[in-house]
């Protein structure tokens, strides 16, 4: 059981398996250096990092929880659904990862086509090949490519002024599908950074209540209440929502390496202690079947995405 009130916990970070800049091996080293006691890698629509990190852990290392962050959408908006403590090799998880990856690859191709036809932005074939050979390429990867070839000054400008103008209709994963697959894989579904919707949209008040109730009806079990991008007021609002809805609570930085100005281990709390609900959540996750060494090692890094 996790009982140390000063324990550092970060349950939201990304590696090169999705849109982070640190490899899974490198991020494990950074977690050790940061003194983080419990961590989870939550790559977008991918679980390959679990099969890489788990065999590298030894006595005295931080406790590791397999995780993923699934990009979802329906008629009500966009959602990022985090999954924790599942078996990375379970059929429901691998099926969801496979569908998500296929959709992501179609979106990348559609965005490249849009940039070429709308703005005349082209890239050498070898660059396109490298992009499409990545585990889970997305808008940040295209944005960095645009900067490298002089089509934009920054990755952020590339995404906002060009890439986001593409009307991509390649299908999507619905939130209830992600929630169901995570639960079927033995995991716990959690709503990431709950107040953030599409773009700069901020979801509060009655809209947030309705969104939570709807996701709860699908089987959502927690929310990310402690988050690097939240003000103290947003964090307290999230904690109040979790308590009133009987939801579990997680804490995460959303670290992406140099792709975001977010420090590993920054869950928005500063010097304040973690709420007890966060350590209670980690206790639940660390006891789940998805954390066995055999389950993590059985995830083939060549096929998991």
Over residues 254-291, the pLDDT tens digits come to 999 988 889 999 999 988 889 999 999 999 999 864 44
- Residue 251 β-bridge partners: 226
Q: Calculate the average pLDDT of the chain.
A: 90
What lies within 8 Å, CB to CB, of 287 at 6+ separation is: none
For the segment 183-196, what is each residue's pLDDT rounded down to a tens digit? Answer: 999 999 999 999 99
Contact 296, 50 (CB under 8 A): yes
Task: Report how far apart the first and last C-alpha atoms of the chain are (Å, whole number).
Answer: 32
> Locate tokens 């007890």: which residue?
276
Band of the pLDDT at 301, cuts 50, 70, 90? very low
- Cβ neighbours for 38, distance < 8 A, ≥ 6 positions apart: 2, 7, 8, 9, 10, 11, 62, 63, 64, 65, 282, 286
Tell me the CATH architecture of domain 9-88+175-297.
Answer: Alpha-Beta Barrel (3.20)
pLDDT at 5: 58
Give the per-residue pLDDT at 137: 87
Q: Over pLDDT 90: what percentage of the chain? A: 75
Q: What is the DSSP letter of 44?
A: B
Place of tokens 């980690």: 282
Confidence at residue 136, expressed as pLDDT on a 0 to 100 scale = 81
Averaged pLDDT for residues 37-53: 96
Tokens 């400008």 locate to 157
Would you say residue 295 has pLDDT above 80? no
> Quick one: pLDDT band at residue 40, thresholds 50, 70, 90?
very high
Listing DSSP states for 57-76 in one string gives: --TTPPEE--EEEEEEEETT
- Give the model's confidence band at 57: pLDDT under 50 very low, under 70 low, under 90 confident, else very high: very high
3 state DSSP class of 119? helix
Tokens for 65, please give them: 């929880």
Nearest 5°: the CA angle 57, 97, 160 is 100
The answer to whether the beta carbons of residues 192 and 69 sit under 8 Å apart is: yes
Beta strands in 4-145 (DSSP E): 9-10, 38-39, 63-64, 67-74, 77-84
**Model pLDDT, residue 113:** 95
Burial of 298 (0-12, 13-18, 19+ CB in 10 A): middle
Please give the average per-residue pLDDT across 67-87, as a whole number. 94
Tell me: the pLDDT tens digits for 127-160?
A: 999 999 887 888 889 999 999 999 999 999 999 9
**CA of residue 80 relative to chain centroid, distance:** 7
Q: How distant, in Å, are the alpha carbons of 66, 85, 143 from that of 61? A: 15, 18, 36
φ, ψ of residue 4 to 5 degrees: the values are: -75, 115
pLDDT number for residue 4 = 62
pLDDT at 17 over 90: yes
Q: Which CATH architecture has domain 98-165?
A: Orthogonal Bundle (1.10)
Residue 14 in this model has a pLDDT that exceeds 90? yes
Q: List the chain domain ranges.
A: 9-88+175-297, 98-165
């Amino acid at each position: 059981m996790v009982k140390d009130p000063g324990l550092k916990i970060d349950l939201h970070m990304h590696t090169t398996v999705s849109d982070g800049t640190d490899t899974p091996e490198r991020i494990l080293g950074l977690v050790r250096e940061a003194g983080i006691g419990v961590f989870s890698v939550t790559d977008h629509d991918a679980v390959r990092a679990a099969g890489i990190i788990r065999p590298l852990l030894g006595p005295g290392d931080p406790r590791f929880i397999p995780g993923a962050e699934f990009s979802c959408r329906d008629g009500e908006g966009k959602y990022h659904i985090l999954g924790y403590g599942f078996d990375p090799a379970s059929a429901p998880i691998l099926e969801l990862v496979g569908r998500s990856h296929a959709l992501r690859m179609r979106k990348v191709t559609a965005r490249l086509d849009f940039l070429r036809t709308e703005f005349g932005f082209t890239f050498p074939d070898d660059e396109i090949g490298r992009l499409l050979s990545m585990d889970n390429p997305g808008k940040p990867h295209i944005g960095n490519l645009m900067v490298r070839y002089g089509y934009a000054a920054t990755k952020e400008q590339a995404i906002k002024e060009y890439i986001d103008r593409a009307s991509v209709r390649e299908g999507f994963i619905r939130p209830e599908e992600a929630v169901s697959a995570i639960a079927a894989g033995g995991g716990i579904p959690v709503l990431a950074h709950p107040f953030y919707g599409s773009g700069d949209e901020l979801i509060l008040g009655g809209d947030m209540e309705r969104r939570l109730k709807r996701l709860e009806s699908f089987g959502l079990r927690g929310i990310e209440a402690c988050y690097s991008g939240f003000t103290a007021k947003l964090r307290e609002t999230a904690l109040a929502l979790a308590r009133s809805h009987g939801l579990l609570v997680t804490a995460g930085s959303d670290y992406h390496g140099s792709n975001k100005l977010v420090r590993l281990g920054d869950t928005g709390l500063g010097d304040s202690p973690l709420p007890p609900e966060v350590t209670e959540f980690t206790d639940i996750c660390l006891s789940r079947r998805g954390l066995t060494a055999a389950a993590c090692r059985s995830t083939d890094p060549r096929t998991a995405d």
